[in-house]
Amino acid sequence: MKIVDIEVIRFKTKTRNYPTKWGYYYWGDERDGSSSITRIVTDEDAVGYNLGGDQATMDRVVKPLLVGENPLDREKLWHWMDQHPGFSEGLAGSIDCALWDLYGRMVGLPVHKCLGGCRDKVKAYASTWPNMGKPEDYAKHAVEMKELGYTAYKVHAYIYFNPRTWEPAPQLPGFPKEDVEVCSAVREAVGSDMVLMLDPFGVYTLEEAIWVGHELEKLDFYWLEHPMVETRVEAYRRLCNELDIAVCSPEHAPGGPFTRAEWVLQGGSDMSRIDVHYGGITGSYKHAMLCQAYGIQCEMHGGGWTNTHILGATPESTCEYFERGLLRPDLDYEKPAPFLKAICDPIDDGGNIILPTTPGLGMEFDWDYIEENRL
């Protein structure tokens, strides 16, 4: 079997994300946007899909390397892409996921079963949209999530945003006092029996992170995630030494499982973190197994059709939670995107997401919608 083509299908859709000059985004009125799907095609009619992609990049970088190769040689191709200067980590990860989708569709199994299979449902935490409002707004939302069956809730407070002027702002300085006010309001609202986390998205100095960590310890939060810029591993080592609350990182450090292995050895975090943008399914699973060997947790960053399968192939003691979101009061999260027939993470009454059971990554596309809106 050989790869004969890699194409990107691009089509019109709607979005409510708006970029700011600081490189982050905010939630606004619905506007026109576009989405894309990458499709890997073989000479034996086996195909694999993943969301996203740009045809110019495929033609310039991906196809010269992969066309003519066996799509089942995922490990070899993963190393090739990792060593290729033209491949970003995100691009390599996306292609790796499409190759896994191709294999799963070919053998008729979801990817998490192809990886070995460990569980069919995973505990979920409700992960909030950032900059959602005042402390009372977060508290109200947390109560609503608890009533829906969630047993855990993660706060994204004020990220690239100034809560004093109520407008977008640079990443640093952050607003640790205001963030803690949000966390305190949430804890008071939901009581002591809900697991809580905070993800400030790298907006603190070391001193601020230490202060916030101690405040979260008083509030019985489970973990503090990505509190500082992740190019300063020594600052993270010092933070872990100062705090009792678990520090969960790195989230966006480049280098995939290789960088994260160094973080583990350096004691830069108590819990590790990865997603398919930093190594694809292949790299994420490698890192999860490394964490399992060292007896530490590897919490997957984000949800989606791809990260889901790492969770399905690992025990709760290694990867405990599924990050469900990002959630906000005026978002109907249960409604799939118009080009998909279902969401990736239906939730049961116990706050667990049910893993995909259809072959590959599990995506079922509405091709009529896609063709009607093709660009």
Tell whether 92 and 11 lie within a shared domain: yes
Q: Give the domain range for residue 20.
A: 3-109
Tell whether 91 and 179 lie within a shared domain: no
**CATH code, domain with 159:** 3.20.20.120
Report yes or no on 371 lying in a domain.
Answer: no
Report yes or no on 361 lying in a domain.
Answer: no
Tell whether 273 and 324 lie within a shared domain: yes
Report yes or no on 265 lying in a domain.
Answer: yes
Read off the pLDDT of each residue in 96-124 and give the average, rounded to a whole number.
98
Tell whether 157 and 54 lie within a shared domain: no
311 Cβ contact partners less than 8 Å away, ≥ 6 residues apart: 112, 119, 122, 300, 319, 322, 355
The one-letter amino acid code at 17 reads N
- According to DSSP, the β-strands at 152-155 and 195-198 are parallel
Query: Average pLDDT, whole number, for the chain?
Result: 97
Per-residue pLDDT band for 23 (boundaries 50, 70, 90) equals confident
The pLDDT of residue 260 is above 90: yes
3-state secondary structure the chain: CCEEEEEEEEEEEEEEEEECCCCCEEEEEEEEEEEEEEEEEECCCCEEEEECCCHHHHHHHHHHHHCCCCCCCHHHHHHHHHHCCCCCHHHHHHHHHHHHHHHHHHHCCEHHHHCCCCCCEEEEEEEECCCCCCHHHHHHHHHHHHHCCCCEEEECCCCCEECCCCEECCCCCCCHHHHHHHHHHHHHHHCCCCEEEECCCCCCCHHHHHHHHHHHHHCCCCEEECCCCCCCHHHHHHHHHHCCCEEECCCCCCCHHHHHHHHHHHCCCCEEEECHHHCHHHHHHHHHHHHHHHCCCEEECCCHHHHHHHHHCCCCCCCCEEEEEEECCCCCCCCCCCCECCCCCCECCCCEEECCCCCECCCCECHHHHHHCEC
> Phi-psi bin for 201: left (phi > 0), alpha (psi -120 to 50), beta?
left
Report yes or no on 362 lying in a domain.
Answer: no
Report yes or no on 132 lying in a domain.
Answer: yes
pLDDT tens per residue, range 150-194: 999 999 999 999 999 999 999 999 999 999 999 999 999 999 999
Of 61, 80, 109, which residue is a domain's last?
109
Report yes or no on 147 lying in a domain.
Answer: yes
Tell whether 199 and 271 lie within a shared domain: yes
Of 65, 92, 109, which residue is a domain's last?
109
Report yes or no on 195 lying in a domain.
Answer: yes
Read off the pLDDT of each residue in 191-201 and give the average, rounded to a whole number.
98
Tell whether 121 and 172 lie within a shared domain: yes
Tell me if 227 sits within 8 A of 205, measured CB to CB.
no
Dist. CA 318–CA 116, nearest whole Å: 15
Tell whether 148 and 14 lie within a shared domain: no
Indicate the number of domains in the chain: 2
**CATH code, domain with 12:** 3.30.390.10
Tell whether 53 and 161 lie within a shared domain: no
Tell me the percentage of the chain whose pLDDT exceeds 90.
97
Tell whether 261 and 197 lie within a shared domain: yes
Q: Is the pTM of this model over 0.75?
A: yes
Tell whether 117 and 86 lie within a shared domain: no
Residue 217 C-alpha from the chain's centroid = 25
Read off the pLDDT of each residue in 31-52 and give the average, rounded to a whole number.
97
Of 109, 143, 169, which residue is a domain's last?
109
Report yes or no on 15 lying in a domain.
Answer: yes
Tell whether 15 and 35 lie within a shared domain: yes
Tell whether 104 and 124 lie within a shared domain: no
